[in-house]
Amino acid sequence: MTDVRSKPSSIEDGRFRLLIDAVIDYAIYMIDPDGIITSWNSGAKRFKGYEEAEILGQHFSRFYTDEDRRAGLPQRALDTAIREGRFEGEGWRVRKDGSHFWSHVVIDPIIDPSGKLLGFAKITRDLTDRKMAEETLKQSEQQFRLLVQSVTDYAIYMLAPDGRLTNWNPGAQRIKGYRAEEVIGKHFSMFYTAEDRAAGEPQRALETATREGRFENKAWRVRKDGTRFMAHVVVDPIWGETGTLLGFAKITRDITEATQTQQALEKTREALFQAQKMQAIGQLSGGIAHDFNNLLTVILGNLEIVRKRVGDDPKITRLVDNATQGALRGVSLTQRMLAFARRQELKFESVEIPTLVQGISGLLRSSLGPSVVLEIHFSPELVPVMADVNQLELTVLNLVTNARDAMPDGGKIVISASAEDVHDQTTLSVIAGQYICLSVTDTGDGMDAATLGCAMDPFFTTKGVGKGTGLGLSMVHGFIEQLGGQFVLKSEKNKGTTAELWIPVATTASVVKPVTHAAEATPVSGLCVLVVDDDSLVLTSTGLLLEDLGHRVISAASGAQALALFDARQDIDLVITDMAMPKMNGAQLAQTIRIMKPSLPIILATGYAERLEGFAAELPRLSKPFTQLNLVEVIASAMK
């Protein structure tokens, strides 16, 4: 019976040993109660490098590192297995060649039915690859954490799927002002403005990121102290391996300074474009006005001659007078165009704005009508400005009239002024210095942005046909710029308009010439006058007016021709030359003649106010269009 029972047991033991030997991914071996190795399988040989004959009878502690053996870890493992029925752990082990590997170890005690400890079953698995991967991942995560924590220019943090913050980096603290403990666990919508929260912007950002894989935007955000900053925001969803939404990665950058710089650049570009546009229109307007002045000079001059020669026939006289009035309206038109082009003649003097406005307040009120209230507010300490009194009065009247027309149902107009110091050119294009800001404010219809942008362009008007030339505001613009100031127009639709005149104050360095009224000129006759003008019509008209005054006229169509005549004639008493001529202008011609004959009187005729230098600036000026009386006055002045 015994032999029969033992035979199957031996067969079964053999099969079990074959099974154990066939396992190569695990080191499976037995040790006795003292830790001596009593069996060894193929997996143990592969992991640890020992042949069975080399290791049987050796203590299993030889697989431990020196540090672990000194710490008593081998015996502690056996004691734990006996005490708790099992020991499981991980740690570094040593192969035969001295190299280390990371192992997962399980030790089970073997106890017979009587409770006697027979030894231990020890199973070891080589987890070096997994351990190295974990270490690499851990190192990578640590490096990433250090990277994120070292970033101070970007707010980088994570959100849970519901939008609550799960971490916080120093950049976020610097930009938004919150410490980590103040925000972790709270909803990220706390950084949005009240308007954006009400509009559902935070949730829209998360939904867009989830749906499209990314959300990017620029918008205002709020710091802890309540201040706002312009933020560039990127939100990316974080997905798990199974497709589960784990949360969101959010990166925010403070671009306030860059945005303000860009806005300033755009504003500067717009201002440059506007200035270039106004300069181009001004040059065009000045050129047109110059040509018109030549035509009006011819028309008015010939009408004067005709008026003297038609006798007393009332029908013909009325026709001539009507034509003269029409021409004078043309003169007013060209004067406005020259004002816009900054080429009008100005008489600079010190002007007290309160006195000037009070002086015309009666005229202003009478022109407004009963439905418009006019209020005037001035500070008593206002200093004088440098301006042309007549032109400034006309400018104020123009602005008040425009304000009245913008209030067909009535309203209020306020004229006020304040002293201002301009330190830079961030808002105005004037040079730094002291200015008086004279403003005219109405409660009228106002203008939209498109209308406001064209309001100062010549011939632009919102009034009906025949109700305005469209030159009023352009004239104001040119006049104030010629003073060295700036005209600023502010308006919003249905909120009224404010027109600001920034005028330089009068200083001790200002050139102030008192305004004097010239005595009635005594006509001078019998002169030989050399008239020079490249426009044949003007040349003929001027000659007729001079001959009608009793002068002898020699005509020249260019500077070169004038010099030839001057060199050939010795009887010339006076030269009247146009300023704007090709090849040789009037100033150059006058300079040459002055060298040839220093005492000869010379008069410069001009259609607009050129900037002259040297002796030419001191010559008598004859502004086009001129009348015969203007000729009499300027000749009398030149011949003194």
Q: Is the distance from CB of 345 to CB of 623 less than 8 angstroms?
A: yes
Q: How confident is the model at residue 3 (pLDDT cuts 50, 70, 90)?
A: very low
Enumerate the H helices of 503-552 as residue ranges: 536-548
Same domain, 448 and 368: yes
Same domain, 478 and 378: yes
Structural domain includes residue 409: yes
Same domain, 158 and 117: no
- Give the pLDDT of residue 382: 87
Structural domain includes residue 287: no
Structural domain includes residue 249: yes
Q: Is the distance from CB of 26 to CB of 19 less than 8 angstroms?
A: no
Structural domain includes residue 447: yes
Same domain, 232 and 355: no
Instruction: Determine how many CB atoms are found less than 10 A away from the CB of residue 152.
Output: 13
Same domain, 542 and 617: yes
Q: Give the pLDDT confidence of 353-393 residue by residue, as tens digits.
A: 888 888 888 878 877 888 889 998 888 778 898 887 777 88
Q: How far is CA 56 from CA 35, 41, 95, in A?
A: 11, 11, 15
Same domain, 435 and 484: yes
Buried b (16+ CB within 10 A) or exposed e, 98-108: eeebbbbbbbe
Domain C-terminal end among 127, 162, 179: 127
As a whole number, mean pLDDT of residues 425-437 equals: 75
- Spatial strand order in the sheet of 245-254: 154-159, 245-254, 228-239, 215-222
Strands 528-532 and 574-578, sheet pairing: parallel
- For 92-136, the DSSP string reads EEE-TTS-EEEEEEEEEEEE-TT--EEEEEEEEEE-HHHHHHHHH
CATH of the domain at 236: 3.30.450.20
Same domain, 492 and 538: no
Structural domain includes residue 334: no
CATH of the domain at 400: 3.30.565.10
Q: How confident is the model at residue 530 (pLDDT cuts 50, 70, 90)?
A: very high
Domain C-terminal end among 224, 254, 284: 254
DSSP state of 616: G
pLDDT at 56 over 90: yes
Taking the C-alpha atoms of 541, 546, 552 and 556 in order, what is their torsion angle to the nearest 10 degrees? -40
Q: Alpha-carbon distance 166 to 183, whole Å?
A: 9
As a whole number, mean pLDDT of residues 110-129 equals: 88
Q: Which of 226, 220, 182 is nearest to 199 (CA)?
A: 220
How many domains does the chain fold into? 4
Q: Alpha-carbon distance 86 to 454, whole Å?
A: 92
As a whole number, mean pLDDT of residues 460-472 equals: 49
pLDDT at 31 over 90: yes
Half-sphere exposure in the Cβ direction for 502 (13 Å, CA): 19
Find out whether the peptide bond into 384 is cis, omega within 30 degrees of 0.
no
185: left (phi over 0), alpha (psi -120 to 50) or beta: left
Domain C-terminal end among 254, 276, 301: 254
Same domain, 40 and 123: yes
- Give the pLDDT of residue 512: 43
Highest mean pLDDT, choosing among 90-94, 334-338, 366-370 = 90-94
Q: Is the distance from CB of 37 to CB of 60 less than 8 angstroms?
A: yes
Element (H, E) at 370: none
Segment among 24-38, 194-208, 392-406 with least mean pLDDT: 392-406
Residue 466: domain span: 349-504
pLDDT at 260 over 70: yes
Q: Alpha-carbon distance 72 to 35, whole Å?
A: 13
Backbone angles phi, psi at 112, to 5 degrees: -80, 175
Same domain, 30 and 174: no
As a whole number, mean pLDDT of residues 101-128 equals: 90
Structural domain includes residue 74: yes
Q: Alpha-carbon distance 172 to 395, whole Å?
A: 56
Backbone angles phi, psi at 579, to 5 degrees: -80, -50
Which residue would you say has higher pLDDT here, 185 or 337?
Answer: 185
pLDDT at 521 over 70: no
Structural domain includes residue 322: no
Enumerate the H helices of 110-221 as residue ranges: 128-150, 170-176, 180-183, 194-198, 201-212
- Average pLDDT for the chain: 80
pLDDT at 634 over 60: yes
- Can you name the residues that pair with 528 across neighbouring β-strands? 552
Structural domain includes residue 19: yes
CATH of the domain at 556: 3.40.50.2300
